[in-house]
Amino acid sequence: MPKRRWFSLGLVLLAALPWSVALTVLGLWAMFTPPEAGPLARGLFGMGVGLAAFGGGQLVFMVCVSDRVFPRADRRITVPAECGMAVVFLAGLLAASGGILIDGGTL
């Protein structure tokens, strides 16, 4: 493998790995924190934000890290997993939007 490929792979991993970890941890925090902890953890909005962040973090990891480190992985496995996390991400966005609408737009 040429040095240029290793360098670009390293840069992508240095950017995507902390990004995916931060999104996943934020999502878990928002989903499992009691509502008194702050505006991000309130009701349906907090659950939606947590679900969207968790799904987004897993999707970023799968697309930006796993697909580049293991380029020959079987697509019959990777595509459904990535699509599943995209659905989780979108469901979280819809839940957060519903939480805003139900709460009357107040956070």
Domain boundaries, the chain: 3-102
pLDDT level of residue 31 (50, 70, 90 thresholds): confident
CB atoms within 10 A of CB 4: 8
Question: Mean pLDDT, to the nearest integer, of 27-53?
Answer: 81
pLDDT at res. 100: 77
* pLDDT greater than 70 at residue 104: no
Question: Mean pLDDT, to the nearest integer, of 14-42?
Answer: 85
Question: Mean pLDDT, to the nearest integer, of 52-60?
Answer: 96
41, 84 in Cβ contact below 8 A?
Answer: no
Looking at residue 74, what DSSP letter applies? -
Mean of the per-residue pLDDT values for the chain? 87
Q: What is the distance between the alpha carbons of residues 4 and 61, in angstroms, rounded to a whole number?
A: 22
pLDDT at res. 106: 58
* pLDDT greater than 90 at residue 52: yes
Question: Mean pLDDT, to the nearest integer, of 62-77?
Answer: 93
Q: Which residue has the higher pLDDT, 104 or 72?
A: 72
